[in-house]
Structure 1
Amino acid sequence: MPRRTLDNPVVLAVLGLLLEQPSHPHQMLGELRRRSEHHAAAISRGTLYNTVAALVEAGWVAEQGRQRAGNRPERTVYALTPAGRTELVRRLDVQIRTPERDFPQFLGAVTYLGALGPEGATAALSERARRLGERTAGDEERLAGALAAGVPRLHVIEAEYALRLARAECEWIGAVLSDIRSGALAWPKASQDRAPAGE
């Protein structure tokens, strides 16, 4: 397998799931999609199966047996090996200690916010804030429900972190909108003369 297969973010997610319990790839895929919108968008069945194959080749996971449910095809169950646990701990330690400069799509778009003009920027940012607020409210409700149901906080700490990021983004958008409306964030005359997006 190419080295890049072991460098993708799915590796950490799979190793983490297998730390919790042995599983087959179909089950892993469902669990990853259930836990994270990011994983739901980023992980295909092919990507996951290729990653598991690379982890087996690396000696980080191993076949534990086969499982059949009803008349469904037999599925191979994988478990974390001692070498896989060591690699998981190593990766977690490095990634938690070392802040990386992520470059999400929103950051790339904000770089060129001026192209929308003040009215277009206000409309787009307002819509984003509204959608983000709705999503955050739902996420807060799910997190509160999980904690009320007795799920240990450590098991949902990533949801707590994601909520903090979303709240910070909403706060930042609110401040930028306020600055646009007050004129504190001014557009150069040349930028204001451009046609708004969509025209």
Structure 2
Amino acid sequence: MARKRKVGNLMGLAVLSTLVVQPRHRYDIAAQMKAWGKDADMGVKWGSLYTVVDNLAKHGFVEAVGSERDGARPERTIYRITAAGRAELSDWTRELISNPEPEQRRFVAGLSVVSALPPDEVVELLTLRITKLEKTIRDTRSELAALEGTLPRLFLIEEDYLLAMLAAEAEWARGLRDSLADGSFPDVEGWRRFHVDGFIPDHIIDMRDGGATDSQTPQD
């Protein structure tokens, strides 16, 4: 299990990854994170950048080493990563790479309550999702092709992973959609009937109630 970190926001990891290259002020940190695509990789919320940098400094992972002024703009504090920050960056990266953690995903949440919709509508919604996934896959492949030869493979690993995950999700969604559309999905007719007349087959009720009883109901 991942340990509780002093700065647990993944944006902190992104900030450390930019400062390990060279000292920067906060505006430059944000610009570099955008250029490297860290906002997409780590779900960055730009409004929290100042707070994250301050927290990193508070815990000794970064430190102020000077300031600079650009024309009439306010003075900007320049930060560099500390030895403790380098150790935190390495330790955090090891944890993320080696330890699989359950991730909160909106699609999984939707699947958990998908019975609230009739199966024919789910077919349409899955088709829409698949279309969007296929577009993202095409766009990602085009971006990778354009970058080929301009960046070392080392700096494109996360894009390779994203592409593989998108392709796997699209394939799984197609399988679910097709089984609903052709009627091979188990009990799809009962699911459809429920949305027509509200009838739930007894065996479905028994299975659901029995599962809840066995796993959740305290025994006397």
TM over 0.5: yes
Which residue identity lines up with residue 167 of structure 1 in the other structure? A
Please give the secondary structure, in 1, of the residue aligned with 2:151: coil
1:75 is aligned to 76
Q: 1:68 to 1:137 in 2, by over 3 A?
A: farther
Rounded to whole Å, the distance in 1 between the matches of 2:173 and 2:88 is 39
Match of 1:22 in 2: 23
- 1:91-130 residue pairs with structure 2 within 5 A? 91-130=92-131
Partner of 2:157: 157
* Residue number in structure 1 paired with 2:178: 178
Matched residue, 2:194: 191
Structure 1 residue 82, shift from structure 2 partner: 0.9
CA distance in 2, matches of 1:87, 1:5: 10
- Tell me the distance in 2 between the aligned counterparts of 1:110 and 1:121: 10
After superposition, the C-alpha distances for 1:132-188 in whole angstroms (9 at most, x for unaligned) are 11122112111221223x201111211111111111111111111111112122433
- Match of 1:21, SS state, is coil
Which letter maps to 2:45? I
Query: Which amino acid is 1:128 matched to?
Result: R
Cross-structure match for 2:216: none
Q: Helix, strand or coil for the counterpart of 1:72? A: coil
% identical aligned pairs: 29
Are the equivalent residues in 2 in contact too, given 1:5–1:51 (CA < 8 A)? no
Amino acid at match of 2:183: G
Helix, strand or coil for the counterpart of 2:30?
helix
Query: 1-side partners of 2:197 and 2:136: how far apart?
Result: 33
Which has the higher relative contact order, 1 or 2, with Cα contacts under 8 A spaced 6 or more apart? 1
**Rounded Cα–Cα distance in structure 1 between residues aligned with 2:113 and 2:82:** 47
| Matched residues, number | 191
CA distance in 2, matches of 1:61, 1:37: 20
Aligned to 2:217: none
Unaligned runs of 5+ in 2: 199-220
Cα RMSD (Å) of the superposition? 2.3
In the alignment, the residues of structure 1 paired with residue 38 and residue 90 of structure 2 have an alpha-carbon distance, to the nearest angstrom, of 21
SS at match of 1:7: coil
Residue 85 (str. 1) matches residue 90 (str. 2):
no
TM-score by length of structure 2 reads 0.78
Q: Does 1:146 align with 2:139?
A: no
**Structure 1 residues 115 and 31: CA distance shift in structure 2, 3 A:** farther
